[in-house]
Amino acid sequence: MRRFGEAVRAVPVLPPTGVGKSVGRLAGLVCSAALLAGLCHGAAAQSFGASEAPPAGWRQLALPSVLPSALPSAPAAVVPVERPEWPLAPEPPALPPGFPSAAGSSLPAQAAPSLSVVPSAGSADLLARVTQLHAERRWADLVGVCETAARAGTLTPPVAERYDLAKIHCDLARRHGEQAFRQRVVGLSEADGRRVTREVFGRIASHHVDQPDYRKMVFRGCRALDVAIDDPLFVSLHAAQATPQRRALYREQVGRLLSGRALDSQDEAETAAAWVARIAHSTLGVPPAVTLLEFAAAAMGSLDEYSAFLTTGQLEDLYAQIEGNFVGLGVELKSAEDGLLVVHVIPGSPADRSGCRYGDHIVSVDGRPLAGLQVDAAAQLLQGPEGSQVALVIARTGEPLRAVPVRREQVEVPSIEDVRIIDPAAGIGHVRLSSFQKTTATDLERALRRLDAAGMRALVIDLRGNPGGLLSTAVDVADLFLDRGLVVATRGRSPEEDFNYTATRSGTWRMPLVLLIDGDSASSSEIFAGAIRDHARGTLVGSRSFGKGSIQGIFPLEVAGVGMRLTTARFFSPTGQPYSRVGVQPHVEVRTAARPIAGGGVAEPAAAGGGDASLEAAVTVARRAVAQPSARAALADR
């Protein structure tokens, strides 16, 4: 399933004009799993300026020799890029064992749990599968096979190496397959490219949750360029001179440039990027700005599973996630062998009105078959301006293929769904939270008042499949049910990221509470569930949550309409427990088996009698809670 994954703090970062997609919905594609739980605080989320003048003391570095008889020099306007001379410094010092917590806190240092990767029969099977996919150059499938283990930190080194290479291929294809990104890149100057790399490296240096490994970033940047100059699309767009001889010379030149360099500082990382850009231009004809943007993107990908370089389209998607609306079709999709599997249709959306249903397969878009396409590439076919029409071909089990025209419209994405009294006799209310958007807390309060008027005596909140959203919204939602105390604490390498978020007494609902969670409840869902658990405010039912315990800041860059998603902190429960790779354990665990859907995917887990086992267990817990004497005066002190 296509993901955006992460925790985002709510801050006043305004989207550019014309934004329009949402909560993981990529103009008709809804992204689920590991979403967002918090944008960065004030200064951390503002643009990071960069001066174009080189600092005092910088001097020209002699470029390694080229073959003048065979290769033309770079244009004169491109050559004079001044960078500092390379010092041969020792390896960077080891990281400290942990970073200090905020004053007055007893929380542990924010380092992620250390996991030992021990090869097993399962890892051997994974290696064999990954090796096969690597040989077949099925990069998207390779990423999909490894993604869960990668986020859990359990990939063995041979698998991790192939997984990283596959991500480089997929990211390259996504960036240069996006028309908006290609249009932005055209005409960028070398100075523009240098500003992007300086801004990216500067943000990493000041705000990434871990100490930067510049050597790792530089070598991944070089590896990404190595992949790019063999990629047919990239070559057709940016490297028309990339003959086998010139590629070999480029690789030789870069190897000599980096040989013996310490690469242990931000200046040296920027220097490496600038000189690789010069070599790529003089040997292959790649515009320097293109190389520098690729370098910045690859450096971001080296940090952690959630940090990423964002193209224009991806940046707009994230803004739309926060706003809760987008232009598109209104379906949630995941990849299938024959195209895209519909796993959710937003009620009242264009797709809903056109007859699209859960379990449908979209096999063609505007006459183009989708089999074998990456989810991102398929999503781009679904995108288009408001009011335009797209022709889908849908396969449904037991029925012939049918053509379905759908009009792209503005779609409001509800974060509160299925509000009802699920058991009138016991007064059990039910609400499904699908994400944590700007208006979720207000919308939930409105839904609670409706249920209260209908006779609610206990409440079940379904967080299954909820990938997260805004950290501030998670705090606001928890505050509806907690009268005091810590909701969540964040800790980063930068002191700006150390915050303790607390509940207040005003407006607290006091009815018995049951939360439903599963392995796809992530980020903000875990913040909410963890606070309810640690304060003994309610009962958690279902299965262990995802284990997404980090916060990402969204930083729009000053050049090219691009941005970066950067992990800036980790968050901890009220009792100081980490969430990363741990998750939240329910009080009542429900083991279920998912039903397969023909052609790929699974349906909701079912009980033996065909119902929803987890929901039934939650309702049973709520009934017992209502029967307790302490629940008789259960409603809010508002």
Q: Is 163 exposed, middle or buried (0-12, 13-18, 19+ CB in 10 A)?
A: buried
Cα separation, 274 vs 258, in Å, equals 12
Q: Residue 289 has which token pair?
A: 């700005």
Residue spans of beta strands (DSSP E) within 26-175: 29-30
Per the annotation, the verdict on 452 as an active-site residue is no
Q: How many residues does the chain have?
A: 638
Burial 471-492 (b: 16+ CB within 10 A, else e): bbbbbbbbbbbbbeebbbbbbb
Cα separation, 481 vs 538, in Å, equals 9
Q: Residue 102 has which token pair?
A: 């905020």
Q: Is 370 helix (H, G, I), strand (E, B) or coil?
A: coil
β-pairing verdict for 513-517 and 458-462: parallel
β-pairing verdict for 428-433 and 416-423: antiparallel
Cα separation, 441 vs 475, in Å, equals 9
Cα–Cα separations (whole angstroms), residue 112 to 2, 49, 372, 539, 552: 25, 31, 36, 27, 15
* Residue of 523, 543, 545, 550 with catalytic role: 523
Cα separation, 133 vs 139, in Å, equals 7
Q: Residue 306 has which token pair?
A: 């959630």
Q: Residue 145 has which token pair?
A: 């096979």
* Residue of 210, 213, 423, 534 with catalytic role: 534
Per the annotation, the verdict on 21 as an active-site residue is no
How many Cα atoms sit within 13 Å of 303 on the Cβ side?
29
CB 545 within 8 A of CB 521: yes
β-pairing verdict for 458-462 and 428-433: parallel
CA-only gyration radius of the chain, Å: 26
* Residue of 548, 550, 612, 614 with catalytic role: 548
β-pairing verdict for 563-572 and 486-491: antiparallel
Tell me which residues are annotated as active site. 523, 534, 548
